Structure 1
Amino acid sequence: MTLAEIATNPLYAAKNTSKSETVHQILKRRILLGYLTDDSPITEQALAQEFCCSQGTVREALLRLQECGLVDRRGYQGTFVTRTTRDEAIILTRMRVHLECTGVERAVAAIDDCKIAVLKELMDLYEESREQRDVFACSEIDRRLHCFIFDLADMPMLEPFLHRAHLQLHRYLISGHQGNIVWNRNEGSRHIDILDAFERRDAASAKRRMKRHIAQSVHNLAPDIYAVVFENAPQDEPQMAPEQLWNPALSVPNTI
C-alpha cells in the first residue's frame, strides 16, 4: 500500500495528516496482517529510504507503535515486533468479554439518538471496508466502534486496558492468516444485533449480544481460543456451543 492510498483511506484521512502518522498506519497494517513479525528486522534507515522521509519521521512512527505495544525498541539492538502468545490471547479474550459486557450495560443507559447515529455511521464505514476486503480497515473501525460504546459507559480508567486488549487480540487473531480471511463465510452485518438492543434500550439483551458478537469473531479466526474461553466458561456464565453460536435465530453470521 502506497502513502497516497493510506492517506485517502476514509478511516484516518485528514487534511493535516502528518507523514509520521502515515508511516505509523502502514507499519501498523503490516503488523496486524502478519507481514511484519518478531522475526522481521526493523531499521529506521531502511524505512526512511522506503518511505522517502527522515529517520526522525520513522522514529516518531515507531514510538507510537511502541506506546500501543506493537513494537519493542531496544536501544542499539534495534526495533522488534512484539509477540502475543496463545496464553496471552486467552487472557485478553476473557478481559475483553468482561470489560465490554459490563460496559455495554452501562452504555445503554447513556445512549441517545445522536450516539446511535454515530454507531450507524461506524457500521456503514465497516461495511464499506468489508466490501473492499480491507481486513486492516475493518479491524480499525471495529475497534473504534467498540471503544465508542465503552466510552459511553463512563469508566475512563479502564479504557486504555480495553484498547490494548482489543488491539493485541485482533493482532493475534488476524496476523496468523496474513490477510487471507474466508470472506465468503461472512455475510451480513456483525453489529446490527447490538445496535438493535441499543435502540430498544435493552441492557440485558445488549450484554448477551455483545458476548455472542465477540465469540463469533474468535470462533471464526481462532477456534482453539474460542473452545477455552467460551465452551469452558465458568459455571456462572452461559456456555456457547458451536450449534448455538451459528443458530440464525440467536446471532447474525460472522465476519472477520
Structure 2
Amino acid sequence: MPDADIYLSLKQRLTSNGFTHGSKLRAEALRREFDCSASTVREVLFRLSTVGLVDFKEQRGFRVPERSPEKLIELTHMRVLLEGEGTVLSIRNGGVAWEARLTAAHHQLSHIEKRIHGTDDPTDLVEIWFSSEREFHQTLISACGSETLKQMHGRIYAQFRQQLMVSDRRFNFISENIQHHAEILDAALSGDESLTRKKIHDHLARHLTGTTLGE
C-alpha cells in the first residue's frame, strides 16, 4: 500500500474511534497490517504527530492522544474563530457556485442526520456521517481565498473530531444538529455575516465547557 494511503487510513481511524484514547500505536503490528516496512509506519506516525493526531515521546513511542476537556475547549474556540472568519470570507467571495456547493453538502448531511434520528441503531451510518459532517464544514470555508486558513482549519477539525470520537458515536445531539446546520446554511445564504458567525458559535457552544467528553 502506498505511503499516502496508509497515512489517510490511519488518519481516518484516529478521528473516528478506530483506536482507544491513550493507547500505544505499535509500529510492528501496523507494519504487518499494512504489509510494509517498519520505517514506513514510523514515518507515517511521525507525520501524524506533526498535525496533532499522534503523541510521540522518546522511550515511550507513539500513542493516541488522551481525551482532555481543556483541549476540547481550546479546539472549539479555534473552530469558532476559523469557521466564522472563513465562512464570512466565502460569503463575500464565493458567489453562486459556492452557494450551490454549500447547499448540496447540507442536503447530503441533512439526509444522513434525519436517517440517524429515525433509527435505533445508527451503526451503519456512522462513517458516512463523519464524512458528510466534515464536508459541510469544509465547504463553509472553501471559498475564503486563504489556503492557510483552510489548512489550519483542517488540522483543528481533525483534532476536534478525535477528542469527540467516542461521545459523538452515540448521537444524542443529532436533533439539535439538524436544526443548527439548517440555521447556518440559511444565515450564510442570506449573506448576513454577523448572524452566520452567531449560528456557527451556537452550533459549537455545547463543547465550550468540555463536558461533552463525558457523554
**Normalization by structure 2: what TM-score?**
0.73
Measured in 1, the distance between the counterparts of 2:88 and 2:53 equals 30
Tell whether 2:20 aligns with 1:27.
no
Measured in 1, the distance between the counterparts of 2:108 and 2:161 equals 18
Tell whether 2:71 aligns with 1:88.
yes
Measured in 2, the distance between the counterparts of 1:38 and 1:197 equals 36
Measured in 1, the distance between the counterparts of 2:174 and 2:9 equals 26
Measured in 2, the distance between the counterparts of 1:69 and 1:41 equals 15
Deviation, structure 1 residue 129: 5.2
Unaligned runs of 5+ in 2: 116-121
Tell whether 2:83 aligns with 1:100.
yes
Deviation, structure 1 residue 142: 2.7
Aligned equivalent of 1:36, options 19, 42, 66: 19
- Indicate the residue corresponding to 1:224 in structure 2: 211
Measured in 1, the distance between the counterparts of 2:50 and 2:146 equals 21
What pairs up with 1:64-79 in 2 under 5 angstroms?
64-74=47-57, 77-79=60-62
What pairs up with 1:193-208 in 2 under 5 angstroms?
193-208=183-198
What pairs up with 1:45-56 in 2 under 5 angstroms?
45-56=28-39
Task: Answer whether contact 2:16 2:161 (CA < 8 A) is retained.
Answer: no
Measured in 2, the distance between the counterparts of 1:122 and 1:185 equals 18
User: Cα RMSD over matched residues?
Assistant: 3.4
Measured in 1, the distance between the counterparts of 2:38 and 2:190 equals 52
Measured in 2, the distance between the counterparts of 1:42 and 1:187 equals 33
Deviations 1:200-229 (A, max 9, x none): 22223222222222236x38xx77369xxx
Measured in 1, the distance between the counterparts of 2:3 and 2:112 equals 23
Output the amino acid matched with 1:23. I
Measured in 2, the distance between the counterparts of 1:171 and 1:188 equals 21
Which fold has the larger relative contact order, with Cα–Cα distance below 8 Å and residues 6 or more apart in sequence? 2
- Indicate the residue corresponding to 1:122 in structure 2: 105
- Indicate the residue corresponding to 2:137 in structure 1: 146
Output the amino acid matched with 1:81. V
SS of the residue corresponding to residue 170 of structure 2 reads coil
Deviation, structure 1 residue 127: 4.3
- Indicate the residue corresponding to 1:213 in structure 2: 203
SS of the residue corresponding to residue 79 of structure 1 reads strand
Deviation, structure 1 residue 191: 2.3
Aligned equivalent of 1:162, options 148, 153, 160: 153
Cα gap change, 1:160/1:200 in structure 2, threshold over 3 Å: closer, same or farther? same
Deviation, structure 1 residue 46: 0.8
- Indicate the residue corresponding to 2:169 in structure 1: 179
Task: Answer whether contact 2:69 2:211 (CA < 8 A) is retained.
Answer: no
Cα gap change, 1:67/1:187 in structure 2, threshold over 3 Å: closer, same or farther? closer
- Indicate the residue corresponding to 1:4 in structure 2: none
Unaligned runs of 5+ in 1: 1-17, 227-256
Output the amino acid matched with 1:70. L
Larger relative helix fraction: 2
Range 18-27 or range 202-211, more displaced:
18-27
Deviation, structure 1 residue 70: 0.8
